């Protein structure tokens, strides 16, 4: 037998072993079957309109708002049709957006404007918050419909639903980078440029602030009355109580390269949360932490995974990528051929019970999701794949 024949036999053997191992690894987290309920390709997806997609939110019962890293904001129905394309009438580009209680939008821009968009996507009003130029505006909507808006250089506003300004305060160091979150009493929690967490009363007075470095640059997540502050770069998770005291601080990897999506943690309540944790040997674990910061369990996923999301029934879901697609892991020489043999669509959705056992798992029918997973009120899992398809799964 010639050297060439020996070489090709060795190649085939390596491929067969790799495919077998990948199947076994996926089987470790597979229980029942998870199947796709429906999918639709959104209008214009084939010409690169989603190439910068980074985040999305549900709008009502049948639409999503997709934000691009370059400042775009488009709304698509579940029929795939474009319903709205945000074009700032006063210049600038999108900095942040919030869904209003009535299904409309509040949009902050990079030149300090705050827009109110009605549910029919007509503009209600636009107000200029500060004289500074080329700075961000972010906001959160209070329990009575008040819009609490942050502009850089410490400006904090309460804006009525009709666009009039109720009050304006200046709080030292407050930054509009990152969305503020609201406690149940409408206390505003935001960060400073020194990465402090600052609490501001609904009347505009500073209540407390933490030491510098607690906040990080990743999105806050509210867990009951506790704000979770993941710091992926520093491999840290800080939980801040309503009085500003640190409930717990964990030194652990938070998130993985595949999950550079926000938020990084899925909150259950009172500081309890799930997150994915990158492991030195590749892949990651799904970790569950209680309200005291104690690790209750972890599941070895053996793959890069998206940020986890909570389902209405208390289960938690992740999107898993195969080991050779894991960023930073060093793809094997035969990764493209492996992907081809598996049909080129090799990501998987896995759902876990609250106590860490596998619930259901199935093919995601895509290679990756451009945006974080979404959960509809009906409990469907939504992802936006690399070809511009919205895919829905019923776990």
Summarize pLDDT for 185-225 with one digit per residue, the tens.
999 999 998 999 999 999 999 999 999 999 987 889 999 88
Residue 51 has a pLDDT of: 62
pLDDT band at 14 (very low <50, low <70, confident <90, very high): low
Instruction: Indicate whether 140 belongs to any domain.
Output: yes
Residue 386 has a pLDDT of: 82
Asked whether the beta carbons of 288 and 318 are under 8 A apart, the reply is no
Whole-Å CA distances, 205 to 22, 176, 189, 209, 309: 56, 17, 12, 12, 34
- How many degrees, rounded to 5, is the angle at CA 354 between CA 352 and CA 357? 45
Instruction: Indicate whether 358 belongs to any domain.
Output: yes
Weakest-pLDDT range from 23-27, 225-229, 244-248 = 23-27
Domain end point (choices 181, 215, 249): 215
Residue 366 has a pLDDT of: 84
Average model confidence (pLDDT) across the chain:
82
Q: Is the model's pLDDT at 133 over the cut of 90?
A: no
Query: Stretch 224-251: mean pLDDT, rounded?
Result: 89
Residue 143 has a pLDDT of: 92
Alpha-carbon distance 50 to 76, whole Å? 12
Nearest CA to 74 among 63, 89, 61, 90?
63
Residue 73 or residue 132, greater confidence: 73
Q: What is the pLDDT of residues 276-313, one digit of tens each?
A: 888 877 778 999 999 999 999 999 987 788 889 999 99
Residue 15 has a pLDDT of: 53
Residue 18 has a pLDDT of: 47
pLDDT band at 271 (very low <50, low <70, confident <90, very high): confident
Do both 204 and 226 map to the same domain?
Answer: no
Residue 338 has a pLDDT of: 47
CATH number at residue 109: 2.40.128.630
Instruction: Indicate whether 49 belongs to any domain.
Output: no
The count of other CB atoms within 10 Å of the CB of residue 285 is: 20
Do both 357 and 230 map to the same domain?
Answer: yes
Instruction: Indicate whether 139 belongs to any domain.
Output: yes
- Whole-model pTM above 0.75? yes
What percent of the chain stands above pLDDT 90?
A: 46
Q: Is the model's pLDDT at 326 over the cut of 80?
A: no
Q: Is the model's pLDDT at 344 over the cut of 60?
A: no
Do both 144 and 277 map to the same domain?
Answer: no
Do both 229 and 339 map to the same domain?
Answer: yes
Instruction: Count up the domains in the chain and report the number.
Output: 2
Do both 210 and 242 map to the same domain?
Answer: no
Residues spanned by the domain of 126:
86-215
Alpha-carbon distance 100 to 58, whole Å? 11
Furthest C-alpha separation in the chain: 86
Instruction: Indicate whether 247 belongs to any domain.
Output: yes
Residue 103 or residue 164, greater confidence: 164
Alpha-carbon distance 148 to 130, whole Å? 14
Whole-Å CA distances, 145 to 102, 200, 282, 312: 10, 17, 45, 25
Q: Is the model's pLDDT at 329 over the cut of 70?
A: no
Do both 207 and 221 map to the same domain?
Answer: no
Instruction: Indicate whether 196 belongs to any domain.
Output: yes
Query: Stretch 235-241: mean pLDDT, rounded?
Result: 91
Q: Is the model's pLDDT at 169 over the cut of 90?
A: yes
What percent of the chain stands above pLDDT 70?
A: 81
204 dihedral zone (left: phi>0; alpha: psi -120 to 50; beta): left
Q: Is the model's pLDDT at 328 over the cut of 80?
A: no
Instruction: Indicate whether 46 belongs to any domain.
Output: no
Do both 314 and 303 map to the same domain?
Answer: yes
Q: Is the model's pLDDT at 365 over the cut of 80?
A: yes
* Report for 2-16, 278-292, 335-349: range of highest mean pLDDT: 278-292
Do both 145 and 242 map to the same domain?
Answer: no
Nearest CA to 209 among 217, 201, 199?
199
Domain end point (choices 182, 215, 248): 215
Do both 226 and 170 map to the same domain?
Answer: no
Whole-Å CA distances, 353 to 32, 271, 325: 12, 19, 26
Q: Is the model's pLDDT at 23 over the cut of 50?
A: no
Residue 370 has a pLDDT of: 79
Asked whether the beta carbons of 26 and 342 are under 8 A apart, the reply is no
SS3 content of the chain, % helix, strand, coil (to 5): 10, 40, 50
Residue 224 or residue 326, greater confidence: 224
Q: Is the model's pLDDT at 126 over the cut of 90?
A: yes
Do both 189 and 91 map to the same domain?
Answer: yes
Residue 119 or residue 283, greater confidence: 119
Instruction: Indicate whether 372 belongs to any domain.
Output: no
Domain end point (choices 215, 243, 275): 215
Q: Count of alpha carbons within 13 Å of 149, Cβ hemisphere only?
A: 36
Residue 350 has a pLDDT of: 93
Do both 170 and 226 map to the same domain?
Answer: no
Residue 312 has a pLDDT of: 93
Weakest-pLDDT range from 39-48, 266-275, 286-295, 313-322 = 39-48
CA dihedral sign of residues 13, 15, 16, 17: positive
Residue 196 has a pLDDT of: 94
Do both 199 and 220 map to the same domain?
Answer: no
Query: Stretch 127-132: mean pLDDT, rounded?
Result: 77
């Amino acid at each position: 037998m010639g050297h060439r024949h020996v070489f090709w036999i060795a190649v085939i053997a390596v491929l067969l072993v790799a495919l077998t191992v990948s199947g076994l690894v996926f089987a470790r987290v597979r229980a029942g079957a998870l199947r796709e309920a429906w999918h639709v390709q959104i209008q214009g997806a084939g010409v690169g309109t989603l190439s910068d997609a980074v985040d999305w939110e549900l709008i009502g019962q049948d639409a999503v708002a997709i934000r691009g890293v370059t400042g775009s904001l488009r709304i698509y129905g579940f029929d795939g049709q474009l319903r709205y394309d945000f074009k700032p009438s006063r210049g600038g580009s999108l900095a942040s957006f919030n869904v209003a209680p009535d299904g409309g939008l509040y949009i902050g821009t990079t030149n300090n404007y705050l827009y109110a968009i009605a549910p029919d996507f007509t503009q209600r009003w636009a107000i200029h918050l500060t004289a500074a130029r080329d700075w961000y505006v972010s906001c959160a909507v209070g329990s009575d419909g008040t819009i609490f808006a942050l502009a850089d250089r410490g400006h904090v506003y309460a804006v009525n639903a009709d666009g009039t300004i109720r009050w304006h305060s200046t709080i030292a160091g407050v930054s509009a980078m990152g969305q503020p979150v609201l406690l149940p009493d409408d206390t505003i929690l935001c960060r400073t440029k020194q990465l402090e967490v600052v609490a501001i009363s609904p009347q505009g007075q500073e209540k407390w602030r933490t030491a510098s470095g607690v906040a990080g640059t990743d999105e806050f997540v509210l867990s009951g009355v506790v704000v979770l502050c993941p710091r992926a770069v520093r491999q840290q998770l800080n939980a801040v109580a309503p009085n500003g005291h640190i409930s717990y601080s964990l030194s652990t990897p938070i998130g993985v390269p595949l999950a550079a999506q926000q938020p990084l943690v899925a909150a259950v309540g009172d500081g309890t949360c799930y997150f994915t944790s990158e492991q030195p040997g590749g892949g990651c674990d799904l970790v569950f932490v209680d309200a005291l910061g104690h690790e209750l369990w972890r599941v070895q996923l053996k793959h890069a995974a998206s940020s986890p999301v909570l389902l209405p029934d208390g289960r938690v879901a992740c999107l898993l990528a195969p080991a050779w697609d894991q960023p930073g892991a060093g793809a094997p020489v035969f990764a493209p051929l492996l992907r081809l043999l598996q049909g080129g669509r090799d990501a998987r959705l896995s759902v876990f019970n609250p106590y860490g056992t596998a619930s259901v798992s199935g093919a995601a029918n895509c290679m990756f999701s451009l945006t974080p997973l979404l959960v509809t009120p009906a409990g469907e899992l939504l992802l936006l794949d690399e070809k511009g398809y919205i895919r829905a799964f019923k776990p």
